[in-house]
Structure 1
Amino acid sequence: MRFALLRQRPGALGGAENTLLCLSRELIRAGHEVTIIAAQPRPPVAREVLAGLNWHRVPVWPGKTGRILGFAVNARRLLHRSRFDIIFSLERTLSQDVYRAGDGCHREWLRRRQPYDTTLGRLHLAGSPFHQTLLWLEKRLFQDPRLKLVIANSRQVESEIRRHYRVPPSKIRVIYNGVDRERFNRFRMSELRPGAVGSQKCDFQRSSILFVGSGFRRKGLNFLIAAMAERRLRQCQLLVVGPGRTAPYQRLAQKLGIAGQVQFLGPQTRVENYYAVSRVLALPTIYDPCSNVVLEALACGLPVVTTSANGASEFIRTGENGVVLNRPDDRAALAAALEEFVEQGMDPRVQESAEAAVAQLSWTRTALQTLSALKDLSEF
């Protein structure tokens, strides 16, 4: 059979991109023809790993809104000129048989962020062409009669799609993201700890709390810095790994008198090094479909403090391998949870519980489960 797989930037790093790569590999191994439709040139990894993979680049329009709308429109034009048996989209597009909702539900994200926005911020969202375009594409996608199957990467996302768009349960399958078991595993962490961070100038004599992610605002970095000012965490170090504007958060740390406790390390290609030297991962996110960072940290034996708005919280057993908070801005509860697991982070029982929670996850398993779901649509 002929498969078209749609993703704007397949060369990026994330759950959707890993799913795309592994699913393509399994489809090719099964003898199917696979074409990637993207907005970027074919990356070297596709040539090295996926021999026989077809690649079509479609043009997009300028600007953030132009990119998402241009990809949707131009991908549909290409699909109308081609013949595919199954169109599998990992984006909000205009023509698909299967949609993997790896980016979550945009309508739910806007709902969840409202309590933390200013009045001006809410007015901006209401008039934003970017957000309105995403909402239009999302609604059209879920109401498309051609859509046969939706794959959600957590039960949280499944629930959101059913609630906002009335998609019947029979059309939704939950398939979690995978974990790279070679990079992220508890036994490798003990090997990485001596000199794990290379030339980075970090103070690891103090108990380290780790934050990893892009989109600092959505992932609650301001709430985390505020919690670090609590007296019981004054002896701890916060390591912030990821790209983004740090100036507002540096000013907040300075204002709270904890600038010396917070280190901004920027994006890191070997994030496992930071799991190895930390006691607990903190991600007080406002909204996250299913954070890969949480799954990776658990696989490394690192306890996690996050919120119930994160699909990855489905792997956390409060008190055993972390804490799930009801609100990201509950400073006292966040500080108490971090204090608890700074103390327990090196306990083998906690590490074993963390690792066991995600022991079944792998990218190959994610791809094979997706392949099984596609077989249920049509015998091939």
Structure 2
Amino acid sequence: MKLCIVTHRVVVGDGQGRVNYEVAWEAIRRGHHVTLVASSVAPELQQHSHVNWIFIPVKGYPTQLFREMAFSMQSGLWLLKHQKEFDLIKVNGAITWVKGDVNAVHFVHSSWLRSPVNLSEQHASLRSTYNWFYTALNADWEKKAFSQAKAIVAVSKQVEKELLEIGVPPERIRVILNGVDLQEFSPGEAKRQTWGLPEGVTLALFAGNAQTPRKNLDTVIRALAQVPELHLVVAGTTTGTTYPQLVVSLGLSKRVHFLEHRTDVPMLMKAVDFLVFPSRYETFGLVVIEAMASGLPVITAVTTGAAEIITPESGIVLPDPDDIQGLAQALTLLTSDREKRHQMGQAARTIAQKYSWANMAQTYLDLFEEFNQS
């Protein structure tokens, strides 16, 4: 089979990019030829004899919207000339204006446009106006892209629900959850002094870009104020936010440790006791399954797509991400019971082992081969 994957990045260290990276390798293992229409491709794939990289340059454009429009136009023009050469074309959302056979959906802009935590709904500003315009355009483009595909892959049940809400026929939707690197994220121990973190205390981890309110760090901090025995490490950019001031105002300066953006999260997860990530809107949330693979219990909310794989034995799923009291109770439970944390962590690791990147990629290729034979 000659497979074409159209995506911005095919690399490790990027959620959507990692999915395409693993799918490409699984296709190669099965003897298929892969053409990558992308702006960035991992060196090991570039050098493979079964891979053809069509470079789509987008650097130099002033905004994300212009970069995506440039990618769509350039990739579309190339595909118009070459699409008949392929047995199957995989795309992501409205990435190109030429139709794809399988469309993998990591985000539904129509749903985000209606979300109460969308920045454009918070307050009027130049940034919020741009975000609204960007989201509205993508929502319109996606509907057309979804209508043209033979199959739509949703990365979670939450995304499936959102696709149904905008009229995608249920028979064309397949749910394939994102995966996790079970070697990179695994149980173990790490010295907290590496990050200047205190020993001998219970330590929760919040990991994510805290600059967006949808990640919900504010609720985590307010709930932490009610759990005096617990410390919190924040691995995520907080520049330009009011979270440090909030921490000071609540008297939590000695218990909240800001590390900003980290590239060593797999090791950091070996130094903490559990993950707290009650995102207000998350189509999946790789950090959840990464924590589970690391043997950590997880506290999250139903508004996070990956919550669907969490059982009562492996974590706590809050029905309302903004319930400060409910979150405080969950934090208290895990802080006060070390044995329970250990048992939940073991259960979390067992669940995560079902969702390796290899298993995910195999499911994608099974789907591709099914359509190629039909």
TM-score, normalised by the number of residues in structure 2: 0.90
CA change 1:128–1:64 in 2 (3 A) is same
Contact residue 275 and residue 298 of structure 2 kept, 8 A? yes
**Pairwise CA RMSD:** 2.4
Aligned with residue 195 of structure 2, among 191, 195, 200: 200
Supply the distance in 1 between the matched residues of 2:267 and 2:91 (Cα, whole angstroms). Answer: 33
Partner of 2:269: 275
State which drifts further: 5-14 or 217-226: 5-14
Q: Secondary structure at the match of 1:273?
A: helix
Partner of 2:250: 256
1:124-163 residue pairs with structure 2 within 5 A?
124-125=128-129, 128-144=132-148, 147-163=149-165
Supply the distance in 2 between the matched residues of 1:154 and 1:68 (Cα, whole angstroms). Answer: 24
**What is the identity, as a one-letter code, of the residue corresponding to 2:335?**
V
Partner of 1:213: 208
Supply the distance in 1 between the matched residues of 2:116 and 2:44 (Cα, whole angstroms). Answer: 36
Partner of 2:124: 120
1:207-356 residue pairs with structure 2 within 5 A?
207-216=202-211, 217-230=213-226, 233-245=227-239, 247-318=241-312, 320-347=313-340, 348-356=342-350
Partner of 2:54: 56
Q: Deviations over 1:239-267 (max 9, x none)?
A: 01123526421112112221221111122
Contact residue 219 and residue 287 of structure 1 kept, 8 A? yes
1:45-194 residue pairs with structure 2 within 5 A?
45-47=44-46, 50-60=48-58, 61-82=61-82, 83-93=85-95, 94-95=97-98, 96-102=100-106, 104-114=107-117, 117-120=121-124, 124-125=128-129, 128-144=132-148, 147-163=149-165, 165-186=166-187, 189=188, 192-193=189-190
Q: CA shift at 1:52, angstroms? A: 3.1
Supply the distance in 2 between the matched residues of 1:5 and 1:210 (Cα, whole angstroms). Answer: 35
Q: Secondary structure at the match of 2:198?
A: coil
Q: CA shift at 1:37, angstroms? A: 1.0
Contact residue 227 and residue 331 of structure 1 kept, 8 A? yes
Partner of 2:351: 357
Contact residue 126 and residue 132 of structure 1 kept, 8 A? no
Contact residue 32 and residue 50 of structure 2 kept, 8 A? no
Q: Deviations over 1:73-115 (max 9, x none)?
A: 221111011132211013422221111112x212222323348
**What is the identity, as a one-letter code, of the residue corresponding to 1:78?**
W
State which drifts further: 65-74 or 3-12: 3-12
Q: CA shift at 1:360, angstroms? A: 1.0
Contact residue 154 and residue 176 of structure 2 kept, 8 A? yes
Q: Deviations over 1:165-218 (max 9, x none)?
A: 2111211111111111112233xx1xx33x2x4632111322101011125422
Structure 2 portions without partners, runs of 5+? none
Q: CA shift at 1:35, angstroms? A: 1.0
Contact residue 224 and residue 331 of structure 2 kept, 8 A? no
Identity level (%): 29
Q: CA shift at 1:51, angstroms? A: 4.2
Contact residue 11 and residue 18 of structure 2 kept, 8 A? no
Contact residue 212 and residue 241 of structure 1 kept, 8 A? yes
CA change 1:33–1:265 in 2 (3 A) is same
Q: Secondary structure at the match of 1:120?
A: coil
**What is the identity, as a one-letter code, of the residue corresponding to 1:141?**
A
Supply the distance in 2 between the matched residues of 1:126 and 1:47 (Cα, whole angstroms). Answer: 35
**What is the identity, as a one-letter code, of the residue corresponding to 1:181?**
L
